[in-house]
Chains A and B, each alone.
Chain A
Amino acid sequence: MSMKYIGLSEINGPLVVLDKVSGVSFDEIAKIRLDDGSERLARVVELAGDKAVLQVFEGTKGLSLKNTQTQFRGRPMELALSTEMLGRVFSGSGKPIDGLGDIFPQKYADINGKPLNPVHRTYPRNYINTGISSIDALVTLIRGQKLPIFSGSGLSHNKLAVQIVRQAKIAKDNGQEFAVVFGAMGVQNDVAEFFRRSFEETGVLQKVVMFLNLSNDPIIERILTPRCALTAAEYLAFEHNMHILVILTDMTSYAEALREFSSSKGEIPGRKGYPGYLYSDLASLYERAGIIEGSQGSVTQIPILTMPNDDITHPVPDLTGYITEGQIVLDRGLDQMGVYPPVSVLPSLSRLMKDGIGEGFTRKDHSAVSNQLFASYAKVQDARALASVIGEEELSAQDKTYIRFGKLFEENFLTQSFSEDRTIDETLDLGWLLLSTLPKSELDRVSKGDIELYYDDKKAALRFDL
């Protein structure tokens, strides 16, 4: 594969077309060398006869029809992998950018990955204690799960992600190693720096692999970033038996890069101009989480996405929600009221929690308490809606207790400080204390036995000054 093709026949956005090529395969990587000696990577995205369409990751700025030499590599995009990657910083396409030189690869792997055979998966059941009440009690994170944070611009999703990384006791048993793979797509330099600094302060920096595609980096490179990150994660998890937490931010920028690429390729757009294959494409990333039978490691994903205009029905959060195993939704209203973390409880969900909580995992009453908190908090919303029409004074006594419960719940249960690390017992006891501010007859999701054991309205009155 040493043949070099001089020049191009067409340039269109991030795409270039080469004529009279032969022996080129679909999805193969090519190196484009410019006259000034600089090199760019490109990928074959379409082949027709002797014509090849290539997508240039670093952008086509400065390319002309005759100042290039293109060389095909005969392989799809591969990432050099090694355990040395821990503690290093890479560009969105996997080149080291921390000035410490190339890594010595132990193997190369196709960044697109391969679908994991469901027969060979192990169903995730071990919960990760994040020390955050709203997550542990209501949207429990399970090792091997993909649980995104749906946020909006200006909300504290980054802070929350850092707190999860710091407090997650992901490797507490078996003495296994734990590491973080961080993929940044189109985020500002400040944000990437915030994560780096926080990892440093937490003392995990040597356990972090960073892939950075910042907002001023080439847009098409963004399509590679999460794939590189996940390839590194799979390598560390399944070949070196580590527990890996992957943080991908911001998936909305990733989807926008995909849209830009799709439209320059002239594809028929689906909803809001995003390509029709957005679902399959996102799935090819999110599905790369889990546990393989026989391997000690795991890949847990926390993708972060900002909902444009806080709209959860926007295609990116919508399709993400259909693929991931639940979601943690942040709410601007709560944020403005000073609630941190501003987790909007009702739309948040963890699909895997039902099998990872309860006796032997967390506590026997966990499932009942969380159901009851959800159900009671849902009634708070009804009472508030009514109060906004007829005024709080006019509410029935029962509705008033719900309004009170809602306020206490938000102030005491949801709110916790950035450094506060609650045990699961503390969290569940706090849940019971809050439920104890409601009359017993209102608790229809918990068993009589649990009520007798945990319901304590006197203690609640004392604690909350009722």
Chain B
Amino acid sequence: MNKIYSINGPVVKVRDTKDFQMLEMVYVGNRRLIGEVIGVTSEYTTIQVYEGTSGLNVGEPVETTGAPMSATLGPGIISNMFDGIERPLKVLGEKTGAFIEDGTEVTAIDTQKEYDVTLTVKVGDVLHAGEVYATCPETALIEHRCMLSPFVKQGIVTYVAGNGKYKVNDVVVKLDCDGEETELTLCQTWPIRTARPIAKRLPPDRPLITGQRIIDTIVPVAKGGAAAIPGGFGTGKTMTQHQLAKWCDADIIVYIGCGERGNEMTQVLKEFSELIDPKTNRPLTDRTVLIANTSNMPVAAREASIYTGITLAEYYRDMGYHIAIMADSTSRWAEALREISGRLEEMPAEEGFPAYLPSRLSEFYERAGYVNTLSGKEGSVTIIGAVSPQGSDFSEPVTQNTKRFVRTFWALDKSLAYARHYPAINWTMSYSEYSDDLSDYYNRNVAPDFMQLRQQISSLLHEEANLMEIVKLMGADVLPDDQKILIETARVVRVGFLQQNAYHADDTYVPLKKQYLMMKAILLLHSKAKEAIARKVPMSSIIGTGWFEKLIKVKYDIPNNKPQMFDEYEAQMTSDFAALVSAV
């Protein structure tokens, strides 16, 4: 029996043993705390413990399991809330009360619940890795598809249970794999640190539609892409993630609260069960998985929570679903890495972070993708990671390294947040490398000149930023009239278009068509106003038409389901300006 030799916070060492494998899951101490082997030398085996080590004794046993840290995958995951190592918090609560005790063993998914299972194979069929052998309704929205684990290459079906009610551990199919019998239940396990295999990656040419104007129009993210939201505290990272989780057009949301606030997780849980998805008329929890490692839960489990989350996402992707992962916040995960690394007395690189920080980050973000699954379906995992830069300084290591591995960057700006301009995404610092890949989609599905208008809006904002340099030094009065018009239009873009009210029934989600029409109306106003200036119409009468204010309020005044009202607006605007010009 292996015994604990030393204890330092979450790090435990065992001496003089050759029994352990790297990254194997172990049980530590008499209370059987869950741990993972993170270092093996001839002298010491180092273990990180996912639960509090308070009260642990030197000399208590350490038990091997021979298997890596794995997630249990099967029906019952959706609409559940787990901790960082896939223990359902509700069940934990039933066992230990409102406060979480260490060493509580529970199963990840409910083993007693019965599902209506439909078998999709028959005796004699050849089943390949990743192919579906049974389906069952998991929630009202999600059909669960049980697939042959990628660990099994292929096999011939020798037994099929009839359709009916089964629990997750009931054997429903038996396979003959080269003479060896394999029993298939409704669930499987997968090591969380290994990406699940796929057949082929596809180009990311479909956007993740979020209904948030600045995201969809200006800095879009593709389905299967990776995006980062860095921002200091109070700039609205969590708010933005909540909005995306509520409205984006993914089939399933995996929300990882990594080292964040407990009240926030409670809020997500409550809000999502109350919010009804307009497309399906079901509460959002029917398509959401929550993983909560709040900031006072053990730090090692925080490190694991990100991997648990992405493994669940990949599993559903393999069934042919589109998944969006909200990871809030990856900085806490990086800090967990730093904390463990410090306890191991590893040589630190930048700011005390371990030298392997970039490689861990890239491994994580690379698990995003739009793919052909092993069974030939299309599915995707989109990762949206919040970053909490220390001191709001974007040059710190986590932000900088994240920037290298994501292609969409939504920089949150303190000064916008101070002015309560939400979402506080700074349009000059943010970028999306997907916009070229996605231009076809927008031009085909929304309007042929969508990308062109988007470009015009971006240039307007860019020119405004340049002019503001002058205005800051000399005041707006010194500008010539045509530049004043530009500043006015840019204001309409900022306040009327980019700023979006998450608490307004219509404005919280805006369809692409309306986004396009809003852009078009603003640009029409700009060209009309410029034309009027050229015809010597005084600035004051142009402002006096009230069109600038009117377009700022257009997001509230024209409901999402009445896009035809934009035609009336445009006609009215054209005639108002014609009257102005003829009056001169």
User: Which A residues are within 8 Å of any B CB, using their own CB?
Assistant: 22-28, 46-50, 76, 110, 112-124, 144-145, 238, 267-271, 275-277, 279-280, 283-284, 286-288, 290, 292-294, 313-315, 318-319, 321-323, 325-327, 346-347, 349, 351-352, 354-355, 367, 371, 374-375, 378-379, 385-386, 389-390, 394-396, 399, 441, 444-445
Contact = CB atoms under 8 A, between A and B. Distances in A.
Given A114-B100, A119-B89, A120-B98, A26 B266 contact: no
Given A26-B53, A46-B7, A118-B89, A318 B472 contact: no
Contacts of B421: 375
Contact of A118 (B101, B262, B472, B495): B262
A276 B352 contact: yes
B475 A121 contact: no
Interface in B38-92: 53-59, 81, 89-90, 92
B266 A118 contact: yes
Contacts of B292: 118
Residue among B56, B263, B390 with the highest chain A CB neighbour number at 10 A? B263
B474 interface: yes
B99 A114 contact: yes
Given A48-B5, A378-B419, 19 more contacts: A26-B54, A27-B54, A28-B55, A47-B7, A49-B15, A114-B99, A120-B97, A123-B267, A124-B263, A270-B338, A279-B259, A287-B262, A288-B296, A321-B233, A327-B234, A347-B414, A375-B419, A390-B475, A394-B477
A117 B54 contact: no
A175 B97 CA distance: 27
Contacts of B96: 117
Interface string B468-488: 000111111100000000000
Contacts of A445: 420
A347 B476 CA distance: 27
B220 to A, nearest CB: 26
Nearest to A46: B8
Nearest to A266: B345
A346 B415 CA distance: 9
A122 B5 CA distance: 41
B351 A271 contact: yes
Given A48-B5, A287-B261, A325-B261, A115 B297 contact: yes
Contact of A117 (B92, B348, B477): B92
A230 to B, nearest CB: 11
Q: Which 7 A-B pairs have the closest CB atoms?
A: A283-B295, A313-B391, A378-B419, A48-B6, A321-B233, A114-B99, A27-B54
A322 B345 contact: no
Contact of B266 (A121, A349, A371): A121
Per DSSP, are chain A's interface residues mostly helix, strand or loop, or mixed? Answer: mixed
B261 A318 contact: no
B419 A318 contact: no
24 contacts: A26-B53, A27-B55, A47-B6, A48-B7, A49-B5, A114-B99, A115-B99, A117-B100, A118-B262, A267-B342, A269-B352, A276-B342, A277-B9, A279-B259, A279-B295, A283-B294, A283-B295, A288-B296, A318-B392, A355-B267, A374-B419, A375-B419, A386-B471, A389-B472
Contacts of B57: 23-26
Contact of A25 (B55, B345, B477): B55
A145 to B, nearest CB: 8
A106 B414 CA distance: 48
A280 B299 contact: yes
A46 B8 CA distance: 5
Contact of B98 (A117, A318, A325, A378): A117
B339 A444 contact: no
Nearest to A275: B342
A349 B234 contact: yes
A279 B335 contact: yes
Contacts of B294: 115-116, 118, 283, 287
Contact of B54 (A112, A123, A270, A374): A112
Nearest to B393: A313
Residue among A118, A119, A238 with the highest chain B CB neighbour number at 10 A? A118
A389 B476 CA distance: 13
Interface in B4-29: 5-9, 13, 15
A316 to B, nearest CB: 11
A385 B351 contact: no
B56 A118 contact: no
Nearest to B340: A276
B54 A76 contact: yes
Contacts of B295: 279-280, 283-284, 286-287, 323
Contacts of B9: 277
Contacts of B99: 113-117
Contacts of A275: 342
Interface string B399-442: 00000000000000011001111000000000000000000000
A441 B182 CA distance: 73
A26 B418 CA distance: 45
B142 interface: no
A152 to B, nearest CB: 17
A24 B77 CA distance: 40
Contacts of A124: 263
B56 A25 contact: yes
B285 interface: no
Contacts of A314: 391
Nearest to B13: A48
Given A119-B90, A375-B420, A367 B342 contact: no
A326 B234 contact: yes
A47 B472 CA distance: 61
A280 B549 contact: no
Contact of B472 (A267, A371, A386): A386
Nearest to A395: B475
A255 B297 CA distance: 20
Given A25-B57, A374-B420, A123 B270 contact: yes
Interface in B221-267: 232-234, 257, 259, 261-263, 265-267
B149 interface: no
B174 to A, nearest CB: 38
Contacts of B58: 22, 24, 47-50
Contact of A123 (B263, B414, B471): B263
A158 B293 CA distance: 34
A352 B495 contact: no
A334 to B, nearest CB: 15
B93 A268 contact: no
Contacts of B474: 389-390
B351 A270 contact: yes
Given A277-B339, A325-B263, A346-B418, A49 B6 contact: yes
Nearest to A383: B475
B477 to A, nearest CB: 6
B361 interface: no
Contacts of A22: 58-59
B100 A115 contact: yes
A155 B6 CA distance: 47
B260 to A, nearest CB: 9
B269 A277 contact: no
Nearest to A394: B475
Contacts of A371: 420
Residue among A25, A355, A379 with the highest chain B CB neighbour number at 10 A? A25
A144 B54 CA distance: 27
A24 B56 CA distance: 8
Contacts of B322: none
Interface in B268-314: 269-270, 292, 294-297, 299
Contact of A374 (B261, B262, B418): B418
A117 B89 contact: yes
A76 B71 CA distance: 33
Contacts of A367: 503
Given A47-B58, A117-B93, A287-B261, A271 B390 contact: yes
A153 B413 CA distance: 28
A389 B478 CA distance: 14
B332 interface: yes
